[in-house]
Amino acid sequence: MSKNRKLLMGTVVEAANKGASGSILQKRNPTIVFVLGGPGSGKGTQCANIVQHYGYTHLSAGDLLRAEIKSGSENGTMIQNMIKEGKIVPSEVTIKLLQRAMEESGKDKFLIDGFPRNEENRAAFEKVTGMEPSFVLFFDCPEEEMERRLLSRNQGREDDNIETIRKRFKVFLESSLPVISYYDAKGKVRKIDAARSVEEVFATVKAIFEPKNEKVLLLYYWLLLRCLTFWY
């Protein structure tokens, strides 16, 4: 086979594989839960609990971006500057990372933490992937509490300083809350009071992930009541 023909074949195979990997993700028809809330509201902490109890795969958009910086990618410096300023990285960059992570995981239940951060993120994700979240967890927490948590997180994050934290709060209010309102209007938001202990917050999260158990319990009580009224 000539060199040019080999190159052409390579390109065709690559294009076919790309198409196939996209459709494999769609064929798997994954369950997607967006996990949103202000900086420091406890998204990552609660996602870790959900993974343990319900077998979801946790994808933190922020973690994927930080890994991209470390990998020495050509986008690294741009991403690092955006994170330092608390700004939102362009959708195409974040969506590519999320898509790749979903495809490579081979799994079909995802917690997407800290994304979408603005309306453009949301619309681009739905357009590019053709997928919508089953529901949205919204960890609602006052700024004073989030600030306290972030300032004592001690994980060496470059954006856990008071200047960047204030910028992140502003971006959350102006750009991310409208995304939550959008899904709220569609009845998809599960709002959780996140200003409580980790255990108390997780108890509420559990009730969201186990609504069927509650229904089974209700049915059980109803049957018991019917039996009792029949006997007496």
Ligand X SMILES: Nc1ncnc2c1ncn2[C@@H]1O[C@H](COP(=O)(O)OP(=O)(O)OP(=O)(O)O)[C@@H](O)[C@H]1O
Ligand Y SMILES: O=c1ccn([C@@H]2O[C@H](COP(=O)(O)O)[C@@H](O)[C@H]2O)c(=O)[nH]1
Angle between helices 3-27 and 91-105 (to 10 degrees): 80
Q: Of 37, 40, 42, 44, which one interacts with Mg ion (CB under 5 A)?
A: 44
Shortest distance, position 165 Cβ to ligand Y, whole Å = 10
CB 159, CB 168: distance < 8 Å = yes
3-state helix, strand, coil in the chain (%, to 5): 65, 10, 25
122 is a site residue for ligand Y (CB under 6 A): no
Q: Of 48, 51, 78, 82, which one interacts with ligand Y (CB under 6 A)?
A: 82
86 is a site residue for Mg ion (CB under 5 A): no
HEC assignment per residue over 110-173: EEEECCCCCHHHHHHHHHHHCCCCCEEEEEECCHHHHHHHHHCCCCCCCCCCHHHHHHHHHHHH
Shortest distance, position 157 Cβ to Mg ion, whole Å = 9
Q: Of 38, 114, 135, 179, which one interacts with ligand Y (CB under 6 A)?
A: 114
Is the Cβ of residue 96 or residue 196 nearer to ligand X in the bound state?
196
CA dihedral 192, 194, 199, 203 (to 10 degrees): -10
Is the Cβ of residue 25 or residue 59 nearer to ligand X in the bound state?
59
133 is a site residue for ligand Y (CB under 6 A): no
- 166 assigned to a ligand binding site: no
CA separation for the pair 62, 204 (Å, rounded): 24
- 226 assigned to a ligand binding site: no
Q: Of 25, 36, 43, 65, which one interacts with ligand X (CB under 6 A)?
A: 43
Summary count for the chain: helices (H), strands (E): 11, 5
Q: Could you say which DSSP state residue 40 is in?
A: T
42 is a site residue for ligand X (CB under 6 A): yes
CA separation for the pair 122, 179 (Å, rounded): 7
Whose CA is closest to 90, among 129, 112, 61? 61
94 is a site residue for ligand Y (CB under 6 A): yes
Shortest distance, position 117 Cβ to ligand Y, whole Å = 5
Q: Of 36, 37, 138, 159, which one interacts with ligand Y (CB under 6 A)?
A: 159
Q: Of 38, 39, 42, 133, which one interacts with ligand Y (CB under 6 A)?
A: 39
What is the pairing mode between strands 135-140 and 189-193? parallel
- 196 assigned to a ligand binding site: yes
**For binding to ligand X (CB under 6 A), which residues are involved?**
37, 39-45, 62, 114, 149, 153, 197-198, 201
**For binding to Mg ion (CB under 5 A), which residues are involved?**
44
Give the residue ranges of the annotated binding site.
40-45, 66, 87-89, 114-117, 121, 153, 157, 168, 196
Give the residue ranges of the annotated binding site for ATP.
40-45, 153, 196
